[in-house]
Amino acid sequence: MSETNDDPQVELVVDGRPLALAPFVRQIIAATVFGLVGALKGGENAREIRLALRRGDPASR
């Protein structure tokens, strides 16, 4: 599978380190996130989405 201009641009950074993603993984992540955001009011026509996730401090639970 080769990269084309239609392939989504997905960057995954874990603990400050970028992870290499295969085209299939990029497609899965993009389809999932765009699908979820597209279902939200105001997210129907999103072209760029920025998402940051952090685990909560287990000690604070």
Helix (H) or strand (E) holding 17: strand 17-19
The domain ranges of the chain are: 8-44
Q: DSSP characters for 31-58?
A: HHHHHHHHTSTT-TT-S-------PPPG
C-beta neighbour count of 35 within 10 angstroms: 9
Higher pLDDT, 15 or 61: 15
* Nearest-angstrom CA–CA distance, 25 and 31: 10
* Model confidence pLDDT, tens digit, residues 5-53: 677 899 999 999 999 999 999 999 999 999 999 999 999 999 999 999 9
